[in-house]
Every structure is written in C-alpha cells, then in structure tokens.
Amino acid sequence: MKNILVVGAGSVGGFFGAHLAKHNPNVSFLLRPKTLAAVKQNGLTIRSATGTFTVHPPAASDPRELPKPDLIMLSVKAYDLDEVMAQLDPVLTDQTVILTLQNGVDTEDRLIARLKRDCVVGGVAFIYSKIAAPGVIDHYKKGAVAIGELMGHKSPRLLAIAEIFKQAGIPCQLTDDVRKSKWEKMCWNCVFNPLTVIVDDKVAKTLEHPEMLRVIHQIVEEVAAVAASVKVPLSADMPEKVVRWTQEIRDIHTSMYDDWKAGRPTEIDYLNGYIVRQGRELGVPTPVNEALTAMIKTITEKEKTGPGVVRIDGEVVQPVSFDRMAIEELPSEYHVSDVSTMMPGMTGKAIKVKGLLEVPALGLKADHVTFHSLDGKYAATLTFQQARDFGLLLYELDGAPLPDKKGGPFRLITPGLGDLCANVKNVGRIEVRVGNGKDTRPPAEERTTC
C-alpha cells in the first residue's frame, strides 16, 4: 500500500492524516475548497498538549490530481458518504482498499452495496479533537484506532494498515469483531452526542443526576436490542460500560455538540435516527431514541428561509415563519378554498392574512402591515385593519404550490379593497409596523379595481 489518500481534514481525518503524512511522503489529502486553500497556504497543523507540528502534504479537491490511491482513509461525516464516493469513483481500482473511520454502523454495508466487492476494512476512532480553523486541528485527548476485517480474519491488508499506523506512532488495535466494536461505540454516541446538545453542556452534566442515568440505560438498552436483532450481541452490562468509559472524559463536548455550535449539520440520522429506522423494520421499540432524534432536529435545524417561506417580523414579540405545510395547519376558518368566489377571474387556495397575524404576539402600537416581495423590490403597505379585513395570501393552485409565474409561492391579493387594492407577487416577508412603510404600488389614480 504505497499511496494513501485521506479524505477530509476535520477533527478525525486531520489528526490521523497529519500524523501519517509526517512519517510518510506518499500521503495526500482530498479536501473541500476552503480547507484546501488553507492547507495550500499554511499547511495542516496539529496543536496538542504533547506538541505542535505542521505538514505540507499534496492536496486537491479533485482526486484525479493526486496519485492514484492504494488505501483510502474515509473520515468524512456519514451524511457526506455518497457525495464523496461519487467524487472518488474515477480513481478507484479493483485493488483499492477503503478504511472507514466514521461514526455509525452502516458505512461499511453502504460501501459494499455500492462497489460490489470486498474492499472495506472497518475502523473505529478514539479521539477528542476539534477544528480550530480550516487546516488547524486542536487535539485534547486520546488518538487511537481499532481496525478489523468484517469477517474477522487477520488479512495481509489489515496487517499492512496496522503497520502504517504503527510507523506514524498511532496506537492501532486489531479487532476480530469490528462490527461489535462499532456497535459499542454506537451505544456511546447515541447517548452523549444528543444529550450534550439537549443540556447544552459538557458530558459531565449528563452524569450528575440519577434520573439521567436511568435515561442513559434506556438509550443503550434500545441500541443493544437493535444490535441483537442484526446478530451483533452486546454484553448485558453495556449501559454500565458506557457510563464507566465516560468518567475519564467528563470534561468534553461531543462532535455533535461542536457541529451544532459551528452551524454544521449533525449526524443524528446516522446515530439515533438509524436506531429508530432499524427498530421499526425489525419490530424493536425505540421510543427514547425516537424522542432524542426529534429533539435534536428541532434544536439544531436552522429556521427555514427563502422561496416557499413567508416570515412575519417587525413589531412582534418573536418573528415567526410559515411554509405551505404550516399554513395548511391553521384553523379552517382562515382558509379560502376557491378565491374565485371573492375575486372573479382568479383561482386558487388562499389563507386570510388575519389568520397569519393571529399567530405572533404583535406590538401594542402596531397599526400598519407591509408585504415585501422575496427580492425586496416590491412592497405594499396597508393599515392593520385593511390587512385583516381584505388581505389574502394565495398559496395553492390546482392542489400544488402556487408557481412562480403566477406570483408564487405566496401572492398577496386584496379583493374588496377597491381602488386601494394591493397585489404583491412572491411575498417573502410580512412586516408589522408602527406607521406607514414601503409601498411600490402605482399612484391611486392609476390603479385598477381589484
């Protein structure tokens, strides 16, 4: 295995890859453009209590620009796997070996299903490190791997990979049951990754209350039940092991916590979410993991913006956003199933602006409402009473979202307002105001009757 390609230079790939590159000139990196620019300019730096060093390995965003790899070390997030493999397709050969160092337990099966050959060596990383900046990794604790063939044998390629890590000074344990090792780490990940996000604190916070320890037991018991159903039995004392393993790293945050705070997506769908999906398929109840999955998605997913979302802000206690689904859930009394009954010549389904304005707590002195187009070019301002009495937001045509060419996804119409009619296409923002606001309507004498 001469040429080694490390995919990703995050907290895992950056640390292990840099150590490999420090001792092996045949290590290169496949990186995203932002990280690539930083590594090209400044190198890849590892800062650790045991010392700091920088390497300058070959790197690119296109694997065809690098030496064709004999060994690929995958260290990207589980949700990036398909995209990365499509990128790697041009450089894969029948001899290429792939070492997986991702969280989750299905990466190996996904790779085998995609590549249709025995090319995967499973791996588990034990490390606590963070991305300080693109191309800079801060390393705090641990820094070891466990690797194994999926069939449990000591193959020549497994021994060769172990030797590569050994030469780089990285502790590498050979395991004859790597699937079990990955499920054991899955137990830990399914507990502390989501819990640190929910409590918004370090691992220690989740260990301080007896009530939470019971929850930890329930999470692990559900994971172990799913593992047993796929013929990976874990020890009966797995919950106790998970708690015991955690005592020496009580001060850490988790990768999910760090991803959340950095505004990155989380791997919840490949951890607790995976347990929930497997549980449903196998008939194994997983209510606690299902609750954790729902809570993490609620906490970490960013507020929707852009086309298909209308936001009410301004003189409100808290801004609120609606997509079509949220609008459809508003009480039926606010819906107009056929606007042609109110505005001949126009069809579609609409929501009364009154219904939208009932949701946010409005400022006590609010007296006007401005409807802005998504691009900010067009607007109409109505008095609060006009908006409530006459405003309709058209959002559906023939059972489908209102198309852009018809002024969608949301279009303001005001049937019954006469010469003061307002019609704003592509509404993206409703601004509650004190006093008059922006209005791009033509002068009153040029308007046609609604």
Question: Are residues 249 and 128 part of one domain?
Answer: no
pLDDT digits (tens, 9 = 90+) for 73-128: 999 999 999 999 999 999 999 999 999 999 999 999 999 999 999 999 999 999 99
pLDDT digits (tens, 9 = 90+) for 411-431: 999 998 887 889 999 999 999
- State the DSSP code for 362: B
Number of Cβ within a 10 Å radius of residue 35:
22
Question: Are residues 188 and 169 part of one domain?
Answer: no
Question: Are residues 216 and 168 part of one domain?
Answer: no
**How large is the C-alpha radius of gyration of the chain?**
28
- Given 149, 176, 203, the domain boundary residue is 176
Question: Are residues 223 and 172 part of one domain?
Answer: no
User: Domain count of the chain?
Assistant: 3
Question: Are residues 112 and 10 part of one domain?
Answer: yes
Question: Are residues 334 and 273 part of one domain?
Answer: no
Pull the structure tokens for residue 203. Answer: 């691992």
Contact 171, 144 (CB under 8 A): yes
Q: In angstroms, how far is CA 172 from the centroid of its own chain?
A: 30
Say what the pTM is: 0.79
Question: Are residues 49 and 113 part of one domain?
Answer: yes
- Give the torsion sign (CA, 75, 77, 78, 82): negative
- Given 286, 302, 318, the domain boundary residue is 302
Q: What is the mean pLDDT of each run of 10 residues along the chain (450 residues)?
A: 94 96 96 96 94 96 97 94 95 95 94 94 95 95 95 96 96 96 97 97 92 96 98 96 92 93 94 98 98 96 82 94 93 93 85 95 94 95 95 92 92 87 94 94 61
Query: What domain range includes position 101?
Result: 1-176
Question: Are residues 214 and 333 part of one domain?
Answer: no
Q: How far is CA 309 from CA 324, 328, 350, in A?
A: 7, 13, 15
Question: Are residues 328 and 412 part of one domain?
Answer: yes
Contact 338, 349 (CB under 8 A): yes
- Given 148, 176, 204, the domain boundary residue is 176
Question: Are residues 158 and 61 part of one domain?
Answer: yes
List beta partners, residue 430.
312, 371
List beta partners, residue 362.
316
- For tokens 């959340």, name the residue: 260
Q: How far is CA 300 from CA 12, 197, 253, 326, 333, in A?
A: 22, 8, 16, 19, 33
Question: Are residues 314 and 211 part of one domain?
Answer: no
